[in-house]
């Protein structure tokens, strides 16, 4: 593994506060609805997904997609690879698609198209992080934790070559 220096960008306390706020907002959005399915995008969303679902505090089914557009790089390849599909149908259900980061917008848009083809009642999106200056195509995200710059970040589910996902905060990576 390459040696890297990390600089905290978003603290654990900031993340937890924002996740609670998002949970309340999402709970309000889904108020009165049944058949809600939260779809996490593996592996990066796992920390945000778990904390967010606890903050929403509603009956929600859990599903996952496996996707990659990074490989071992710090930039999106531009090609989305589906590595794991949903185990159950989302037809006529209210889908909450949860991402760790929307960088190019390609993965989120790809998954919205894939899910849309399966005829859900609604698709709502949430991402911990959004890099508006990095978007390669227009991508609307309903619930965003934090907007950040173009720096490569790790922690709270985000990795570099498989490492740093377990950090409780988000940090920028400075390569040496």
Boundaries of every domain in the chain: 12-148
> What is the distance between the alpha carbons of residues 27 and 102, in angstroms, rounded to a whole number?
22
**What's the pLDDT score for residue 99?**
97
- CATH of 12-148, picked from 3.40.50.2020, 3.40.50.720, 1.20.120.400, 3.40.50.300, is 3.40.50.2020
SS3 2: coil
The predicted pLDDT at position 76 comes to 56
Tokens for 122, please give them: 């609604």
Predicted model pTM: 0.90
**First-to-last C-alpha distance (Å) of the chain:** 12
pLDDT for 87: 82
Question: What is the helix (H) or strand (E) element at residue 157, kind and residue range?
Answer: none
Catalytic annotation, residues:
103
- Residues of the chain below pLDDT 50: none
Name every residue whose Cβ is closer than 8 Å to that of residue 96 and which is 6 or more positions away in sequence. 26, 30, 36, 37, 38, 39, 60, 124, 125, 126
Q: What is the per-residue pLDDT for 159? A: 93
Q: What's the confidence (pLDDT) of residue 147?
A: 98
pLDDT at residue 19, as a whole number = 98
Distance of alpha carbon 69 from its chain centroid, rounded? 13
Query: What was the pLDDT predicted at 80?
Result: 80
* Res 75: pLDDT: 59
Beta bridge partner(s), residue 10? 170
């Amino acid at each position: 593994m390459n040696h890297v220096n990390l600089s905290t960008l978003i603290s654990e306390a900031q993340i937890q506060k924002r996740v609670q706020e998002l949970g309340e907002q999402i709970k309000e959005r889904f108020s009165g609805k049944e058949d809600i399915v939260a779809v996490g995008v593996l592996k990066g969303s796992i920390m945000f997904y778990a904390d967010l679902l606890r903050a929403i505090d509603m009956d929600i089914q859990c599903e996952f997609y496996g996707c990659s557009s990074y490989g071992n790089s710090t930039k999106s390849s531009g090609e989305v690879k589906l590595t794991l599909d949903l185990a159950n149908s989302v037809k006529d259900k209210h889908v909450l698609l949860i991402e760790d980061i929307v960088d190019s917008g390609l993965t989120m848009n790809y998954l919205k198209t894939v899910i849309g083809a399966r005829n859900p009642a609604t698709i709502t999106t949430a991402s911990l992080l959004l890099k508006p200056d990095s978007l390669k195509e227009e991508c609307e995200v309903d619930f965003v934790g934090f907007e950040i710059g173009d720096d490569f970040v790790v922690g709270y589910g985000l990795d570099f070559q498989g490492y740093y996902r377990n950090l409780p905060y988000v940090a920028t990576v400075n390569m040496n």
